[in-house]
Amino acid sequence: MKYVSTRGQAPSLDFAEVTLAGLASDGGLYLPQEWPQFSPEEIRAMRGLPYPELAARVMQPFVGDCLTPDRLRELTEKAYERFAHKAVTPLVQLNEQQWVLELFHGPTLAFKDVALQMLGLLFEEFLSRSGGNLTIVGATSGDTGSAAIDAVAGLDNVEIFMLHPKGRVSDVQRRQMTTVRAPNIHNIAVEDASFDDAQAMVKRIFADETVIAKHRIGAVNSINWARLMAQVVYYFAASLQLGGPDRKLAFSVPTGNFGDVFAGHVAARMGLPIEQLIVATNVNDILHRALSAGDYSAGKVTPTAAPSMDIQVSSNFERLLFDVGGRDGAALAEQMRGFDANKAMQLTNAQREGAAALFTSARADEHDTAQALRWAYEQCGELIDPHTAIGLHAALQAEIDPSVPVVTLATAHPSKFRDAVEQATGCRPALPARIGDLFSREESYVSLSGTYEAVRDHILENAA
């Protein structure tokens, strides 16, 4: 399997190379050259498989010759053994039509664990073959940082520098990052910065000659293809439990960087019957405007009760535009240059029609979010988190034939956002036991002024 860049200029890579590369050298994102296909018989034969085995079946065509089927099975077994539920991603029924797919049973309580536990093992596997070290630099509004740190803590040839905007992540999120004491973990709190400021610094690091001349810089956010690949699996898992491939399903996905919902698009491309993918946004609704009116224009970020979705520029949307817009890298590179200059662009007709074949969208404000949270608790006895509530709001509003199950992806455990949950429902969700003594462990992080130079120099001085 070969991977190509959405901007058409970077060399094509194999799976091992694409996993270590992150962003393509032309500024684009990597995608498989063509989509692997499963026939209905092949999908039917996956029914009843344990999750790690299903994961290996779904991922194998993407991995190509880079891992043998046996080795891939060993890695998926290991990646999912720390999940607190045997099913890894269990389904919960809310009413006749509505279901919730719980993706938060991993070590750090958000769906990011499903992909990052696997990605950490892939880094280790491929680096041990090629030799050398990987220096990961990332920015987080909370969930990616904790999941990535958990996944790579203690690895020999990977180190991680994780930037978070000081004072703008929740206590649980910060402690999940800063109480992990391993020599390869470096937490940086950036003062007077938003998540967007921290993210902009990371992008500069990737292009800074003084850094990349000395260090191989890797990515753990969803620009990394391997993360999306691991997320395709749970669309299959949900479908197989609800009658697939002989019955269509709709999915409602709380969306920020468009990674999770793009994995649903990949599942559909591979032959999984999907009726509709609902892109659920909060008031930071650039994707809703893009999908409903073709207007992809970034505004200012408004903080909400669902901080992991407070994003204005969704990196992975570029992958969709490429895939449904004719796979023309040169044209897309031109279009993205226009977006970088103006922070706005119009989708082409081909892009709009291609997206509309599978995607719809909806937007929830803070009132809608609290109302959906209350509905789940009072009508169904389920506590959900604010991100999931945005997805559920969209699912309840969608016009979908009553015979089609609608699955909302539950992206975080309610205890990770317990203040917002308590405010809406009056019930304060307890932290699960696997979090341990999070609030009595010692924290370790440096605070740096919000200048790029301060952050870069800290990385240069401390990277191995």
Query: C-beta of 446: minimal distance to ligand PLP in Å?
Result: 24
Query: C-beta of 463: minimal distance to ligand PLP in Å?
Result: 26
CB atoms within 10 A of CB 353: 12
Query: C-beta of 260: minimal distance to ligand PLP in Å?
Result: 4
Q: Which residues of 216-326 form beta strands (DSSP E)?
A: 217-218, 249-254, 274-281, 295-297
d(CA 307, CA 387): 8
Of 22 and 329, the one with the shorter C-beta distance to ligand PLP is: 22
- On the CB side of 114, how many CA atoms lie within 13 Å of its CA? 32
Active-site residue set: 112
d(CA 14, CA 16): 6
Name 3's bridge partners.
Answer: 13, 32
d(CA 295, CA 165): 29
Of 110 and 151, the one with the shorter C-beta distance to ligand PLP is: 110
Residue 180: left (phi > 0), alpha (psi -120 to 50), or beta? Answer: beta
Of 28 and 259, the one with the shorter C-beta distance to ligand PLP is: 259
Distances in Å between the Cα of 373 and the Cα atoms of 307, 376, 417 are 16, 5, 12
Distances in Å between the Cα of 317 and the Cα atoms of 41, 52, 136, 213, 407 are 31, 28, 23, 30, 22
Report the interface residues with ligand PLP, using CB under 6 A.
Answer: 110, 112, 143, 222, 254-260, 308-309, 387, 411-412
Which residues have C-beta within 8 Å of that of residue 158, sequence separation ≥ 6? Answer: 120, 123, 124, 127, 133, 134, 136, 152, 184, 218
> 247, 246, 264: which is closest to 255 by C-alpha?
264
d(CA 433, CA 121): 25
Helix (H) or strand (E) holding 261: helix 259-269
Query: C-beta of 275: minimal distance to ligand PLP in Å?
Result: 20
Whether residue 36 is preceded by a cis peptide bond, meaning omega within 30 degrees of 0, is no
Query: C-beta of 409: minimal distance to ligand PLP in Å?
Result: 8
Query: C-beta of 75: minimal distance to ligand PLP in Å?
Result: 22
Query: C-beta of 298: minimal distance to ligand PLP in Å?
Result: 15
Query: C-beta of 359: minimal distance to ligand PLP in Å?
Result: 13
Of 308 and 361, the one with the shorter C-beta distance to ligand PLP is: 308
Of 205 and 220, the one with the shorter C-beta distance to ligand PLP is: 220
Measured in whole angstroms, the distance separating CA 464 from the mean position of its chain's CA atoms is: 28
- Residue 463: exposed, middle, or buried by beta-carbon count in 10 A (0-12, 13-18, 19+)? middle
CB atoms within 10 A of CB 453: 10
Of 109 and 448, the one with the shorter C-beta distance to ligand PLP is: 109
Of 309 and 336, the one with the shorter C-beta distance to ligand PLP is: 309
- Residue 30: exposed, middle, or buried by beta-carbon count in 10 A (0-12, 13-18, 19+)? buried
Dmax (CA) for the chain in angstroms is: 59
Written as six digits, the tokens of 293 are: 């009116």
Of 196 and 260, the one with the shorter C-beta distance to ligand PLP is: 260
